[in-house]
Structure 1
Amino acid sequence: MSNKPSILIVGAGAIGSFYGAILKKAGCSVSTVLRSEYDAVKANGIRITSPLGDLSYRPDNVYRDGDTPTETPDYLILCVKVLPGVDRAALVKPWMGANTRLVLIENGLDIERELAEAYPANPLISCLAFIAASRTAPGEVEHKAYGKLVMGRFPEGIDDDCRTLADLFIEGGISIDLTEQVVGERWRKCVWNTPFNPLSVLANGADTLTILDTEGGEALIRELMKETMATAAADGHPLDEQLIEQNIDGTRKMPAYKNSMALDYLNGRDIELDAVLGNVVAIARHHGVPVPHLTTVLTTLRMREKLKAKA
C-alpha cells in the first residue's frame, strides 16, 4: 500500500489531466470528477502525448459530477475554468473532508477569495501553471511544452502541505517554485495572460506570433503589459520592468501558440474574461490607475458577449 496522499482532480481537462498524470507517476492514488468526458475516460483512461514521454494513465476512480463520494481526498485539485455562473465552492463541497487540502490550478487574479471564505478551516494552496497543453478529443491531451508550477499558501506563506505537494510534483518530473507571495506571482503571470488571452479573442483566435508580428501588434501588447504592471504596483505588488522584455522574448522563442482563451472562443465555449481581464480593470479603477488600452479590450469583448447572448 502506498503511504502517499490521495489526489482528486475536479476538472480533468488538459491542465487537470496533465498534473494528475504527474502525481500518478509519483505514485499517488489519482481520481477524477468529470462531466462531459466521463464515458471516454471510464472506458479508456486519459491519453497524454508529451515531450516528457507517454503520460497516459487510468485514474484510480472516475466519478461523475454529482456522485456521492465514499471517501474524501487528502488533496483536492480544482482545475475548472473560472467563469460567471460556475459556483466553484459548491462544485467541490461533496468532496471536501475535514483534512482535505484545497489546491487551485486556475488562471486569473483574485480567484481564491470565495473558496477561502467557503472553507476557512481547510488549507488553500494557490498554483500558477506555466504550460502549453490542449485537449484534442474526449480523454485525450496534447502537452506541447513546459509544465512548471509556482505555488504557495493563500494569502501568503509556505507550509508543510505546500512542501509535500511540491515534492510529489518534482518526483513526477516537473519543476516547482514555492513562493511566500502567491498573489504577487499571480500579478506576474497576468503580465502575459491579461494582454495575450483577450487580444487573441478579439483577433478571431489568433496565435501568439500572429499577434506579435502584425504591424502594431507588439506595440499594443507592450502597452497592455505596462498598464497591467502599473495596476499591480498600485495594488502593492511592484514588478521588474524587465518582465515585459522577458515575456515578449520568451513568447517569440515558443512555437506559434493558441492560448486557452483563444481555443475556448474558437470552440464556442465561454471565456474567462473576468478572471483574466475584468478583475485587473476593476482593481485599476479602485486604485485610480488609468488603463485605457485594457478598458478598450474589455469593453469590446463585453460587446461580443452581449451579441453572443442575443444569438
Structure 2
Amino acid sequence: MNKTGNDKPDILVIGAGAIGSFYGAILKRAGCTVSVVLRSDYDAVKADGFRFTSPLGELSWTPDQVYQPGDTPSRFPDYVLLCVKVLPGVDRAELVRPWLGEHTGLVLIENGLDIERELADAFPRNPLVSCLAFIAVSRTGPGTVNHQAYGQLVMGNFPKGFDHHCERLAGLFRDGGIDINGTDAVVGERWRKCVWNTPFNPLSVLANGADTLTMLDAPGGEALIRTLMEEVIAVAQADGYPMPDGIIEKNLSGTRAMGAYKNSMALDYLNDRPIELDAILGNVVAIADRLNVPVPHLRTVLVTLRIRQA
C-alpha cells in the first residue's frame, strides 16, 4: 500500500524523458504514487512538473518525489520503471540497484533486442516485466513533452510468461487510458517491433535526421525499407520467431498514417546524443551472424554508422 493510503502501488521511473514521463503520467492518472529519478531536467521538473501536449487530453503531472542519481530513496517502490536508452557504457544494473528492494518489480520500457538478460542475471530474485512501447512521443524542452500518437504497450515476463505482476500493471495502464497487449512470448514481440525499428531508426541517422515520410518518399526509399524489413524477418524466423504474413504492409501503412515523424534515434542524432545502435541494429546483425543468415543491407547500414561514429 502506498503512502496515499490506497491500494495502488508506489512507482519509481528511472529515465523520465519522453517515454518515461509519458508512462509515469498514465500511472499517475490511474491513481498510483509516481516518483522519478532525473539528471538533466531535475530543476525544471522539481519546479514545474511535466508539461504535456497530447491527443489523450491533459497529461501534465507533478511527481510525488523528484530524485537525482545518488539520492537515497525514502522507501523502496513496488515497481521500478526503467526507461533509459540502452547505450554502450551505461550500466543499467547499477542505475537501478539503489532503488530496488527485495520484492520490487523491475519493468523495462526500452527499445531493442536481447536487452533484458543482463538485468535478469543481476537481479534473479526480482520480478522482471519487459514492455515494448508503440508510441510517437518526444521531449521538446526541459520537462516538456509532445505526445503525437499511439501509446500501446506490449507486456510480458522475461524470458516468457505473464504473471500476476503483469496482470496488475496491465490493469493500471488500462485505467490510465492506454491499450495493453499481454504476451507470454515477449522476445517474439521484440522481434516484431524490430521489423519497424531496425530499418527506420538507423536510416534516419544516415539521412541526417530525416522524418519517416521523407525516408519513404525519397526515390528508392520505400524499396530499401522493405528490403531491410525482409532481412529482419529472415533473422527472426531463424531465431524461432516467425513473423505474421502482411507485417511489412501493416508497418508501412501505419507509418504513413502517423504523418511525418522523427523517431528517437533521429532526435538523438540531431541533438548530438549517443544513439542506441547496438540495441536496435547491432544485436540483430550479431544474431544473424550466429545463425548464418545473410543480411547484407543491414550490415551495410551498421558498418556505415560505425564509420560515422568513429
Q: Normalising to structure 1: TM-score of the pair?
A: 0.98
Q: Give the one of 180, 203, 206 matched to 1:202.
A: 206
Q: Give the one of 9, 33, 52 matched to 1:29.
A: 33
Q: Give the one of 255, 280, 284 matched to 2:288.
A: 284
- For residue 60 of structure 1, report the CA deviation from its aligned partner: 0.3
- Paired position in structure 2 for 1:161: 165
- Paired position in structure 1 for 2:216: 212
Q: Give the one of 73, 78, 99 matched to 1:95.
A: 99
Number of aligned pairs?
306
Structure 2 counterparts to residues 213-292 of structure 1, below 5 A: 213-292=217-296
Structure 2 counterparts to residues 1-311 of structure 1, below 5 A: 1-306=5-310
Residues 169-192 of structure 1: CA deviation (Å, up to 9, x unaligned):
000000000001000000000000
- For residue 241 of structure 1, report the CA deviation from its aligned partner: 3.2
CA distance in 1, matches of 2:50, 2:253: 34
SS at match of 1:103: strand
CA distance in 2, matches of 1:35, 1:251: 32
Residues 92-115 of structure 1: CA deviation (Å, up to 9, x unaligned):
000000010000000000000000
Which letter maps to 1:295? Answer: R
CA distance in 1, matches of 2:38, 2:122: 22
- For residue 49 of structure 1, report the CA deviation from its aligned partner: 1.1
- For residue 266 of structure 1, report the CA deviation from its aligned partner: 0.3
- For residue 2 of structure 1, report the CA deviation from its aligned partner: 1.5
Q: Which stretches in structure 1 are left out of the alignment for 5+ residues?
A: 307-311
CA distance in 1, matches of 2:52, 2:28: 13
CA distance in 1, matches of 2:249, 2:56: 28
Percent of aligned pairs with the same amino acid: 72
Q: Which stretches in structure 2 are left out of the alignment for 5+ residues?
A: none
Which letter maps to 2:114? Answer: D
Which letter maps to 1:41? Answer: V
Which letter maps to 2:83? Answer: C
- For residue 255 of structure 1, report the CA deviation from its aligned partner: 1.1
- For residue 51 of structure 1, report the CA deviation from its aligned partner: 0.4
CA distance in 1, matches of 2:87, 2:235: 22
- Paired position in structure 2 for 1:309: none
Residues 122-141 of structure 1: CA deviation (Å, up to 9, x unaligned):
01000000000000110110
CA distance in 2, matches of 1:59, 1:252: 35
Which letter maps to 1:66? Answer: G
Q: Normalising to structure 2: TM-score of the pair?
A: 0.98
- For residue 252 of structure 1, report the CA deviation from its aligned partner: 1.1
CA distance in 1, matches of 2:271, 2:74: 35
RMSD: 0.5
